[in-house]
């Protein structure tokens, strides 16, 4: 491994109990002995990872700052998402504060830091072991874990909202953050978790309007593990609006038990390069996952999704729908695998990826795959890459709607179709609003000469 600001000393300087220090040290050794992944590896195909330069980044020392302002920012960011059972705010991976709603009983929901735990929390690293050097780096510099435990049979009306703030100003020059969440939903429980990743100390927390490419780069490696026990239900949203100086390499791993459901909704709007690896294990008979994602790239953003729907048990079902748009010179990659294991008879798995290409310079790659070891299963995959549908545009225009408005309606409609299926009522409008802001000035017709626009056209 080349020389970088990530060192054994920097790792061991992090605060925490013995088990965490030991865990970090082990990860550091594996990281130091290994090498970064390369594009030649199938899971990194199209990613551009060969151009990644780790020496641009460095670990962040725990900042000596008052939590008040960060909590305030977290509350403000969480507010549009609706009511909540608890709010957690992290700053570059360290937990700044946890606020539980008084209406939620302590024996129903526990949301804690793990820094005062004498032992590692059960299940940590089980669903998302370090897959590569980035995973080891995450484990070596892990500041804390947002640990959410929903008690057996507890039914929570509102989600836990976790706001992860990422700040480059904390470091001299570049920075890195390693947010971590571990969610455990007990048997017959019902709960929801929303994670929001946003930049602070940056000109634009929506990650778009005036991307400052000269800003020092920030590496963000978030890992989330979702364990859903038998007869339980979890709604999960992962909303990423980091600024474009951020390189994000995220892992979301879930395991769903017997007759349980996971409804997951990922939204990637920010990041210069933003990758999300989604691993979904269905280990109990009758388990069900719905994995949805929406992404929108502008400027030179790259959004990169790798998904695995892994069916271990009979009569399990997974539905995946990833939809996104690329404008300007943005790029997206979708690569997904449905794996039906021997013994998972009666499994049903669907995988759909639709891409809207909004400009000549934009590009989308879509690679669906199936690996089926069992008969008596129903699987399908579908994928499209293309411009705005001409028939849809003509239909709207034949009603007197200008090309600019027609395109905006169609693209927003494309996202709102997906947003309407978000697992939380507050998330759909949040997505529509965020996408609408991001699209301003980005559609082909926005570049039409003003002279050809009708005077009535608002």
Partner 1 sequence: MTATANSAHQLVVEGLRAGVTSREVLAGIDLEVRSGEVHAVMGPNGSGKSTLAHVLMGRPGYQVLGGSVTLDGHDLLALPAWQRARLGLFLAPQYPTEIPGVGLQELLAEALAATGQASVAGSGDGSATDRAAAEAVRVGLETKLLDRPVNMDLSGGERKRSETLQLAVLRPHIAILDELDSGLDVDGLRDVAHRVRAGVDEWGLGVLAITHYQRLLSVLRPDVVHVLVGGRIVASGGPDMAEELERTGYAQYITPGDVVADARPVRRPGFTDPI
Q: Residues in the site for partner 1, rule: CB under 8 A?
A: 357, 365-368, 381-387, 389-392, 394-403, 405-406, 409-410, 412-418, 420, 454, 456-458
Residue 365: CB minimum distance to partner 1, A: 8
Work out how close the CB of 229 gets to partner 1 at its nearest, in angstroms, rounded to a whole number: 35
When the beta carbons of 43 and 404 are compared against partner 1, the nearer one is 404
CB of 276 to partner 1, least distance (A): 20
Alpha helices in 13-155 (DSSP H): 18-33, 67-78, 133-140
Of 120 and 412, the one with the shorter C-beta distance to partner 1 is: 412
Token pair for 423: 């697992």
Instruction: Report the nearest approach of partner 1 to the CB of residue 238 (Å).
Output: 21
Cβ atoms of 273 and 295 within 8 Å: the answer is: no
Q: Which of 271, 236, 252 is nearest to 438 (CA)?
A: 271
Cβ distance to partner 1 smaller for residue 20 or 364:
364
Nearer to partner 1, 59 or 403 (CB): 403
Q: Residue 398 CB, nearest distance to partner 1 (Å)?
A: 5
CB of 455 to partner 1, least distance (A): 9
* Residue with smaller CB distance to partner 1, 85 or 269: 269
Between residues 43 and 410, which has the closer beta carbon with respect to partner 1?
410
Phi, psi of 121 (to 5 degrees): -65, 145
**Cβ distance to partner 1 smaller for residue 118 or 398:** 398
Residue with tokens 């007869």: 231
Q: Which CB atom, from 195 or from 304, has the smaller least distance to partner 1?
A: 304
In whole angstroms, how close is the CB of 417 to partner 1 at the nearest point?
4
Residue 57 near residue 217 (C-beta atoms within 8 A): yes
User: In this complex, which beta carbon is closest to partner 1, that of residue 156 or of residue 411?
Assistant: 411
For residues 261 and 402, which CB has a smaller minimum distance to partner 1 in the complex? Answer: 402
Q: Cα 129 to the chain's mean position, in Å?
A: 17
Instruction: Compute the least distance from the CB of residue 419 to partner 1, in Å.
Output: 8
DSSP string, 382-421: EEEEESS-HHHHHHHHTTT--HHHHHHHHHHHHHHHHHTT
What is the H or E stretch that residue 439 is in? helix 427-439
Q: Do the beta carbons of residue 300 and residue 272 sit within 8 Å?
A: yes
In the complex, minimum distance from the CB of residue 376 to partner 1, in angstroms, rounded to a whole number: 23
Please, which residues bridge with residue 261 across strands? Answer: 233, 288
Helices of type H across 193-317: none
**Nearest-approach distance from CB 406 to partner 1, in angstroms:** 7
- The C-alpha torsion from 340 through 344 and 345 to 349, rounded to 10°, is -40
Mutual orientation of helices 403-419 and 427-439 as an angle, nearest 10°? 150
Closest approach of Cβ 374 to partner 1, in Å? 22
Which of 42/457 has CB closer to partner 1?
457
16-21 long-range CB contacts below 8 Å, 24 or more apart? 16/115, 16/143, 16/144, 17/114, 17/115, 17/116, 17/117, 17/118, 19/117, 19/118, 19/119, 19/120, 20/114, 20/115, 20/120, 20/142
Q: How far apart are CA 82 and CA 71, in angstroms?
A: 17
Residue 27 CB contacts under 8 Å (≥ 6 apart), including other chains: 11, 130, 136, 137, 138, 139, 140, 142
| H-helix segments, 43-156 | 67-78, 133-140
Residue that has been written with the tokens 């997974």 in this structure: 318
Between 263 and 381, CB nearer to partner 1: 381
CB of 441 to partner 1, least distance (A): 19
The H or E element spanning position 321 is: strand 317-326
H-run or E-run covering 437? helix 427-439
């Amino acid at each position: 491994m080349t020389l970088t600001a990530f060192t054994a000393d920097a790792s061991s300087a992090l605060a925490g109990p013995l088990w965490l220090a030991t865990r970090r040290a082990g990860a550091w050794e594996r990281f130091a002995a290994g090498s970064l992944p390369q594009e030649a590896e199938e899971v990194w195909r199209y990613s551009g990872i060969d151009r990644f330069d780790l020496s641009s980044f460095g670990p962040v020392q725990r900042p000596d700052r008052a939590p008040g302002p960060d909590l305030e920012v977290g509350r403000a960011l969480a507010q549009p998402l609706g009511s909540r059972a608890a709010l957690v705010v992290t700053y570059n991976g360290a937990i700044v504060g946890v606020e539980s709603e008084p209406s939620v009983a302590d024996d129903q929901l526990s949301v804690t830091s793990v820094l005062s735990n004498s032992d590692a929390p059960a299940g940590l690293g089980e669903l998302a072991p370090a897959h590569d050097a980035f995973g080891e780096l995450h484990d070596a510099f892990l500041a804390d874990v947002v640990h959410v435990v929903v008690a057996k049979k507890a039914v929570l009306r509102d989600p836990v909202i976790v706001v992860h703030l990422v700040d480059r100003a904390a470091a001299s020059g570049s920075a890195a953050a390693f947010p971590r969440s571990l969610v455990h939903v007990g048997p017959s429980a019902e709960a929801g978790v929303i994670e929001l990743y946003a930049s602070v100390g940056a000109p634009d927390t929506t990650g778009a309007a005036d991307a400052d490419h000269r800003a020092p780069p920030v590496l963000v490696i978030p890992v989330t593990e979702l364990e859903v026990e038998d007869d339980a239900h979890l709604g999960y949203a992962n909303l990423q609006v980091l600024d474009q100086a951020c390189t994000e390499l995220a892992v979301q791993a879930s395991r769903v038990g017997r007759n349980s459901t996971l409804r997951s909704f990922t939204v990637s709007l920010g990041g210069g390069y933003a990758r999300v690896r989604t691993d979904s294990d269905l280990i109990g008979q009758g388990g069900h996952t719905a994995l949805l994602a929406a992404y929108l790239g502008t400027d030179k953003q790259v959004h990169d999704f790798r998904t695995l729907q892994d069916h271990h048990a009979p009569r399990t079902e997974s539905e995946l729908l990833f939809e996104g748009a690329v404008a300007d010179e943005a790029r997206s990659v979708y690569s997904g695998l449905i794996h039906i294991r021997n013994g998972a008879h009666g499994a049903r798995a669907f995988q759909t990826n639709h891409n809207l290409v909004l400009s000549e310079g934009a590009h989308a790659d879509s690679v669906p795959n199936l690996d089926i070891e069992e008969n008596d299963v129903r699987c399908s995959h579908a994928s499209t890459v293309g411009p705005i549908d001409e028939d849809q545009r003509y239909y709207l225009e034949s009603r007197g709607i200008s090309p600019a408005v027609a395109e905006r309606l169609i693209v927003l409609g494309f996202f709102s179709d997906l947003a309407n299926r978000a697992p939380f009522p507050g998330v759909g409008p949040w997505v529509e609003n965020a996408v609408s802001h991001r699209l301003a000035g980005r559609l082909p017709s926005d570049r039409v000469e003003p002279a050809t626009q009708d005077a009535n056209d608002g």
